[in-house]
Amino acid sequence: MSLPIRNVAIIAHVDHGKTTLVDALLKQSGIFREGEDVPDCVMDSNALERERGITILSKNTAVRYKDTLINIVDTPGHADFGGEVERVLGMVDGCILIVDANEGPMPQTRFVLKKALEKGLRPIVVVNKIDRPNADPDVAIDKVFDLFVELGADDDQCDFTTLYASGLQGFAKASIDEEGVDMQPLFEAILHHVPPPAGDPNKPLQLQVTTLDYSDYLGRIIIGRIHNGVIQAGQQAVLYKDDGSIVKGKVSKLLGFEGLSRIEIAEASAGNIVAVAGFADANIGETISCPENPQALPLIRVDEPTLQMTFSVNDSPFAGQEGQYVTSRQLRDRLYRELETNVALRVEETDSAEKFLVSGRGELHLGILIETMRREGYEFQVSQPQVIYREVNGQPCEPFEYLVLDVQEDAVGSCIERLGQRKGEMQDMQVGANGRTQLEFVIPARGLIGFRGEFIRLTRGEGIMNHSFLEYRQLIGELETRYNGVMIAFEEGVATFYALKQAEDRGSFFISPGTKVYKGMIVGEHNRPQDLDLNVCKTKQLTNHRSATGDELVQLQTPVEMSLERALEYIGPDELVEVTPESIRLRKMKAKKLAKR
């Protein structure tokens, strides 16, 4: 007899403690050996996830509690990875909404909760980080209730169960006044408030593909939930494709989840989440069914991308020096391979064989793809991100974002002023007890391009900025998002200390002495609106005279470090970011015939 099952997803805003809470559930469930070295955020297995402290890919785990198998899906909190959230919510029957006791619901809380409510799920609300000094759980719960009402939740959904927790200390409790001991109250809440999976094991097999994985031994592995029927290892089955065609196949391997591992199983019935090998052509949203009576499930619908950029073969003077994969064929193959698992991404070919139009959910979504590719050895260049316009009811429309800033008091005025210049409209302003102010704006998505770097300067690195897609609204006027020109190298060579020191008063540099440069490469930001071409390779003329001040220690200002995200936000429409495994360079699309100054 199979175990009772509960399928639950964990959803939250970025950095509200989803993965840490899953760690606590896993530790209490006893899946780790005594004395085993368990890393923090054990579910964040991707190197980029560990570096950035965010969840990018949804992941499955399974634990046993009181003879019940609980399948847990850890989802990303950032709206740029909403495609991951949308497809996995179809695998579960309930969800745990985690909210920071200090911050309350944030923009991406709104996004993921909206998706859960649309699926008809009834969330369990966990107020996390109650052990922090500024925590105010009661205010957080009031804000969550207001958000439920605002998003159109029904009466049952608004009557949510609330728990108070600290993922870091490993406890959850039903009342704020109780003593927190362990995670048992959360396990009990899952058993009592998440319904068992619907589905009839006597009906024909229906398994929907929600995640794709790959193994060197098994090839493509599909992960999904069995909606109806029973699946067995070695059985014949068919894949119902999104175009209506049917492909015959065989279940070569059937795997279930236990803790962080996949274990081989003989069969699984309706309600289970399993991994299946044997279907090399399967894609997200398609259905595996029985050959005698194939029946397809509705395809998974994912929100359309809002941002696009051009990926092209690197044609700079330094092209091919640092990358392993540099040709248009290699770039094309890699981008189309990404489409197999990244459902929110779109790739289109252009009239040039060396350029591809790539559309995604936001700068972070596309930035993660670019960073992954450069770590794999790809060398290419990308253009400035552009918003995707649409026609709604015959009117040209553009995407708008919901933006929340948390800033210190002395930066409020400058932030409001800058966002006003970018056509942002302030919706709300709340002054906190800790001297910080929370500002809420609705702003065109293109008004946010390039704002993050400016925001860091305005708040001296102390501000917190979060935003998520709101809706398409009527197109507004022209926007000026960068007010300064750039400094451009006009010859190939190596930047010298002498040349950079001589031009230091003209602006701030992105490079340091010893950096190799070429004609048309952007080396810094000019103090004035126009671009300035510079000789950054000039050397000091040597004489046999010794200056009295020659031995004084002269220092350069620290150069501005251009990370990938910062470079993507910074460049203008006539500029490119050159991406290689070793370097991030900014350049003009075409090197002008520059006159020396």
Q: Binding site membership for GTP: which residues?
A: 15-20, 128-131
Q: Could you give the CA distance from residue 580 to residue 374 in angstroms, rounded to a whole number?
A: 6
Q: Could you give the CA distance from residue 432 to residue 435 in angstroms, rounded to a whole number?
A: 6
Name the burial class of residue 47, with classes exposed (0-12), middle (13-18) and buried (19+) by CB atoms within 10 angstroms of its CB: exposed
Locate 77 and state its tokens: 């909190």
* Secondary element (H or E) of residue 110: helix 107-118
CA distances from 381 to 258, 310, 372 (A): 42, 8, 14
SS3 category, 463: coil
Q: Could you give the CA distance from residue 79 to residue 108 in angstroms, rounded to a whole number?
A: 6
Interaxial angle between packed helices 451-458 and 412-421, expressed in degrees from 0 to 180 and rounded to the nearest 10 = 160
What amino acid is encoded at 571 in this protein? I
Give 182's contacts (C-beta < 8 A, 6+ positions apart): 28, 170, 171, 172
Rg (C-alpha) for the chain, rounded Å, is 27
**Residue of 88, 101, 121, 83 lying closest to 16 (CA atoms):** 101
Q: Could you give the CA distance from residue 120 to residue 142 in angstroms, rounded to a whole number?
A: 22
Q: Could you give the CA distance from residue 265 to residue 52 in angstroms, rounded to a whole number?
A: 35
Residues contributing to the annotated binding site: 15-20, 128-131
Name the burial class of residue 33, with classes exposed (0-12), middle (13-18) and buried (19+) by CB atoms within 10 angstroms of its CB: exposed
Give 74's contacts (C-beta < 8 A, 6+ positions apart): 10, 18, 19, 22, 43, 55, 58, 59, 61
Give the pairing of strands 171-173 and 261-264: unpaired
Q: Could you give the CA distance from residue 185 to residue 567 in angstroms, rounded to a whole number?
A: 46
Listed in sequence order, the DSSP H helices in 327-386 are 328-338, 363-375
